[in-house]
Amino acid sequence: MADVKLLYIEDDLEQRQNMAASLGERGFAVVTASSGKEGLELLASDKPSLVLCDLNMPEMDGLAVLEHVQRLDPDLPFVLLTAHPSVPLAVKAVMQGAQRFLVKPVSVSEMEITIHQALEFAKLRRWQREAEEQLTRLVESAPVPYIITRKSDGKILYANHHLADVLGIPPEEIKGRSSTDFYYNAGERDEVIARLEKDGFVKDLEVQVRRADGSFRWMVFSLAETEIGGEEVVLGGFLDITRRKEMEEKLRIYREVFWHSVDVITIVDKKGHIIERNPAHEQRTGWTDEDVADKSMFDFLAPGDISNIKEAMANTGHYRGEATGVTKDGESIPIDISIFPIHDAKGELALYVTMGRDITEIKRAMSELAEANQELREMQGQLVQSAKMASLGSLVAGIAHEINTPVGAMTSMHDTLVRGIKKLKEHLETIDPELFANDKKLTKIFGVINDANQVISSGATRVGEIVRRLRSFARLDEAELKSVDIHEGLEDTLTLIYHQIKHHIEIVKDYGELPEISVYPSRLNQVFLNLLNNARQAIAEDGTITIRTAVEDDRVTIMIQDDGAGIAPENLTKVFDPGFTTKGVGVGTGLGLSICYQIIQDHHGTITAESTLGDVTRFTIRLPMNLNEILGIS
């Protein structure tokens, strides 16, 4: 055993020499030292395989030598010898790194056995350390979090930097802590230990771990129990599945949305065949799983929509718009449909998703809203027009009043003038009965005065009639139902527009015998004004407006006709629609005829339009003669 070199440190010369000689005879190479200091010097130069050292020595005892040796070479075997043994001393020696503790005197055979045991123990410890170092390098280089814990209490003996990154704590701060600190639910460790006790390992256990900031990460555990240095430990590898869990939760939510959506959702292949559909599809359409097998999504759409949808998908890859779905019972359902593509990881088209929403109620609501809006516009138009007519009536009445005063004065003075001229002539004749017969010039002057008086009388009468008509048209005190002469309302209205038609339009009146009937006078005058104005505007140059009245089938009929431009056939059915006009921007609002229609409706009457483009346009009004009875007004 010359390859085994021993360093024997002993302050007793006789013991040192005897033991060295005996060990030499057993084949060991022995180097001796008389003190701890000398022994440490030889340790550096002779490189021994093992150190034998007495405990009680002056200057530096055996434990001090052991401490130095451990610092220089922790793997070097060390055997401590003493003639004064104690249990605490032995424990202390072993704890500091001594492989053996022998009590003197020691036989050579016992010493030889101890040397071999210490060498083997040191070799095993060196292998263990190297194995641990290799394990550390292995787990540090592994791309997954790794941990070693003591089984008994969960104390963390080792954690690699990957686990430290997951937990948000430096590796050195993790070591020594309890693994329970990092379970999001502390009770889960008991479950882990129970499975280890039963099977000796744990595989693919999903657990939430707590990070330093209080948040959690989902991990999948694979654990196994073993022994290191005679102590039961748990080796564990982890895989962070937080992202997977988040995706699973999103998929769960998406699935819930898909499954419980009231909108129809289908997943179809590139040819449009249904791969999957949500329950709403069958609930809305009545088509069963057997019905939709091998069918295309286009089989559930109205034929008129298919070409447009296919064209849009060919051009843009998707479609969004309204279409008509067809139920199993053949019912047509308006739907808002969206079709969009799903691509695979390579960016190639894989599937289509279609989403359809039944918009029957929406369209019904929109229709009702449009009708309400139409009514509101009509009402607004009527209010505006009524306000304009009220303003016009006030203006007309005011003008009539202002004109009536000077006209009254002029008429009164004219009468006075006529009587004065008459008295003057009579006085002159009493003076000279032959005066006018003999004086031709005087006769001529009186003739001129008489002619002038006749013109003044005629003009005053005409102005008076106009004023009366204006005041009658205004009818400011007749907003309620009243029995009136229809012809008077027509004449009043003609008076109002006379200055606009007198030069190029002839008014032809064909009035029949009409009784007075109950109407809303001011509102009916508004109808006459709108119709006559329209007729006037339709005549570009010279023309004729014909007004005809009659009693037909217990109704009063008023017909207003012009020979102007006429109305195109496609527009004739729309002339009473609010907002419709053919007069151009800034000329017409499109409210006049719709207001006329509403006013006649309020009179429980009818108004119709007939026209030939470029020839004649005729509006015919039919009014009941007993509106007061219909409305229950006495």
Residue 253 lies in a domain: no
Residue 177 lies in a domain: yes
**Identity of the amino acid at 520:** Y
Which of 109, 132, 155 finishes a domain? 132
Omega into 105 within 30° of 0, i.e. cis? yes
* Mean pLDDT in residue range 405-423: 77
pLDDT at 587: 45
Task: Say if CB 88 and CB 45 are below 8 A apart.
Answer: no
Q: Where is average pLDDT lowest: 167-171, 346-350, 389-393?
A: 389-393
Task: Report how far residue 177's alpha carbon sits from residue 157's, in angstroms, rounded to the nearest whole number.
Answer: 8
Q: Are 402 and 525 part of one and the same domain?
A: no
Tokens of 396: 């007309």
- Please tell me which residue, 585 or 92, carries the higher pLDDT value: 92
Q: Are 567 and 500 part of one and the same domain?
A: yes
Residue 116 lies in a domain: yes
| pLDDT exceeds cutoff 90 at 410 | no
Collect contacts of 574-581 with beta carbons under 8 A, ≥24 apart.
575/609, 576/607, 576/609, 578/374, 578/377, 578/378, 578/381, 579/377
| pLDDT exceeds cutoff 90 at 395 | no
pLDDT band at 192 (very low <50, low <70, confident <90, very high): confident
Stated pTM of the model: 0.45
Task: Report how far residue 59's alpha carbon sits from residue 38's, in angstroms, rounded to the nearest whole number.
Answer: 11
Residue 255 lies in a domain: no
pLDDT band at 545 (very low <50, low <70, confident <90, very high): very high
Q: Are 499 and 604 part of one and the same domain?
A: yes
**Identity of the amino acid at 576:** F
Look at the block and give the residue holding tokens 């289908």.
266
pLDDT band at 513 (very low <50, low <70, confident <90, very high): very high
Q: Are 622 and 483 part of one and the same domain?
A: yes
Q: Are 595 and 554 part of one and the same domain?
A: yes
Q: Are 375 and 414 part of one and the same domain?
A: yes
CB atoms within 10 A of CB 402: 11
Domain with residue 152: its CATH number is 3.30.450.20
Q: Where is average pLDDT lowest: 311-315, 367-371, 415-419?
A: 415-419
| pLDDT exceeds cutoff 50 at 99 | yes
Residue 250 lies in a domain: no
Q: Are 483 and 429 part of one and the same domain?
A: no
Q: Are 80 and 211 part of one and the same domain?
A: no
pLDDT band at 487 (very low <50, low <70, confident <90, very high): very high
Residues 84, 85, 91, 97, CA torsion sign: positive
Mean per-residue pLDDT of the chain:
84
pLDDT at 466: 67
pLDDT at 589: 44
pLDDT band at 588 (very low <50, low <70, confident <90, very high): very low
Structural domain count, the chain: 5
Which of 245, 278, 308 finishes a domain? 245
Q: Are 50 and 93 part of one and the same domain?
A: yes
Q: Which tens digit of pLDDT belongs to each residue from 426-477?
A: 888 788 888 777 788 888 888 778 877 777 776 677 676 666 666 665 554 4
Q: Are 274 and 399 part of one and the same domain?
A: no
| pLDDT exceeds cutoff 70 at 566 | yes
Domain with residue 396: its CATH number is 1.10.287
Strand order across the beta sheet in which 543-552 lies: 505-510, 543-552, 555-562, 617-624, 606-611
Domain with residue 564: its CATH number is 3.30.565.10
pLDDT at 406: 76
CB atoms within 10 A of CB 226: 13
pLDDT band at 424 (very low <50, low <70, confident <90, very high): confident
- Please tell me which residue, 210 or 415, carries the higher pLDDT value: 210
Task: Report how far residue 415's alpha carbon sits from residue 424's, in angstroms, rounded to the nearest whole number.
Answer: 14
Task: Report how far residue 297's alpha carbon sits from residue 268's, in angstroms, rounded to the nearest whole number.
Answer: 7
Domain range for 304 is 261-358
- Please tell me which residue, 129 or 383, carries the higher pLDDT value: 129
pLDDT band at 397 (very low <50, low <70, confident <90, very high): low
The proportion of the chain whose per-residue pLDDT surpasses 70, expressed as a percent, equals 89
pLDDT band at 9 (very low <50, low <70, confident <90, very high): very high
Q: Are 422 and 316 part of one and the same domain?
A: no
The proportion of the chain whose per-residue pLDDT surpasses 90, expressed as a percent, equals 22
Residue 426 lies in a domain: yes
Residue 254 lies in a domain: no
Number of alpha carbons in the 13 Å side-chain half-sphere of residue 143: 0
Domain with residue 114: its CATH number is 3.40.50.2300
Q: Are 622 and 558 part of one and the same domain?
A: yes
pLDDT band at 585 (very low <50, low <70, confident <90, very high): very low
Which of 474, 505, 531 finishes a domain? 474
- DSSP assignment of 461-486, as one string? HHHHHHHHHHHHHH-TT--S-EEE-H
The CA R_g of the chain, rounded to the nearest whole Å, is 61
Task: Say if CB 50 and CB 57 are below 8 A apart.
Answer: no
